[in-house]
């Protein structure tokens, strides 16, 4: 995997725009950090095939099609719930589409990660996700989970559970497939 450091989300966004070639297909996962780079509008308005879940609105069938399309796009853009000092990326997903696209399918994956996501090790990463990231995200998406009410993880299996899949990404057997952009700002949850 390649790693880069940028002082700001805007600088990371500039790198993404310069790196992703025109004419390719681009998909993305839900990420406030990616949002902060400002690249989504660039791809929506440019010569790209875009898998943009926001375009589906309340149309659940269309949304499912978009998520499935993103599984095989050329470039997949995503955040990360945590990044360990040892270089492992940890992502937890309710539906699993993000974890799936990170693992296999898209030819290239770009992670955008604010410095607030850096933790000591995998135990700290999982703790961070349950105590910080998930609680904030379920509230953002109005999901009905125990943590959205209490602010505490109770290891739930309710229908809206945001922690169905847990993915640790520690290596890529496809050289250069993954680029990790570490950004010197506090971004996302
Ligand atoms: S309560 Fe459920 S959704 Fe909330 S952090 Fe724990 S496992 Fe995830």
**Domain-embedded: residue 188:** no
Domain extent, residue 171, equals 2-183
55 CA from centroid of ligand 1 (Å): 27
Number of domain units in the chain: 1
The beta-strand segments (E) located in the chain are: 2-6, 25-28, 49-51, 75-78, 82-84, 89-93, 108-114, 118-119, 165-169, 178-183
Q: Quote the mean pLDDT of the chain.
A: 96
10 CA from centroid of ligand 1 (Å): 32
**Domain-embedded: residue 24:** yes
Q: Residue 187: its pLDDT value, please?
A: 96
Check pocket membership of 136 for ligand 1, CB cut-off 6 A.
no
- What are the residue ranges in the chain where pLDDT is below 50? none
Residue 81 CB coordination number (10 Å): 27
pTM of the model: 0.95
Token reading at 34? 């990616």
105: domain CATH number is 3.40.50
Q: Whose CA is nearest to atom 7 of ligand 1?
A: 155
**Domain-embedded: residue 189:** no
Residue 25 CB coordination number (10 Å): 18
Main-chain phi, psi angles of 80, to 5 degrees: -150, 145
Rounded Cα distance, 147 and 140, in Å: 12
pLDDT in tens, 30-75: 999 999 999 999 999 999 999 998 999 889 999 999 999 999 999 9
Q: Residue 124: its pLDDT value, please?
A: 97
**Domain-embedded: residue 170:** yes
User: How much of the chain exceeds pLDDT 90, in percent?
Assistant: 92
Q: Residue 4: its pLDDT value, please?
A: 98
Q: Residue 44: its pLDDT value, please?
A: 97
101 CA from centroid of ligand 1 (Å): 22
């Amino acid at each position: 995997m390649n790693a880069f450091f940028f002082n700001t989300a805007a600088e990371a966004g500039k790198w993404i725009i310069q790196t992703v070639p025109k004419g390719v297909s681009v998909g993305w996962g839900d990420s406030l950090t990616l949002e902060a780079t400002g690249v989504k509008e660039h791809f929506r308005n440019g010569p790209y095939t875009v898998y943009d879940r926001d375009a589906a609105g309340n149309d659940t069938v269309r949304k499912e099609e978009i998520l499935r399309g993103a599984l095989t796009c050329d470039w997949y853009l995503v955040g990360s719930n945590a990044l360990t000092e040892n270089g492992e990326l940890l992502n937890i997903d309710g539906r699993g589409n993000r974890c799936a696209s990170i693992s296999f399918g898209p030819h290239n994956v770009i992670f955008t990660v604010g410095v607030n996501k850096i933790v000591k090790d995998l135990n700290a990463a999982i703790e961070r996700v349950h105590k910080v990231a998930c609680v904030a995200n379920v509230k953002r998406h109005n999901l009905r989970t125990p943590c959205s009410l209490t602010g505490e993880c109770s290891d739930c299996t309710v229908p809206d559970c945001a922690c169905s899949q847990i993915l640790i990404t520690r290596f890529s057997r496809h050289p250069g497939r993954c680029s990790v952009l570490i950004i010197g700002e506090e971004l996302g949850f």
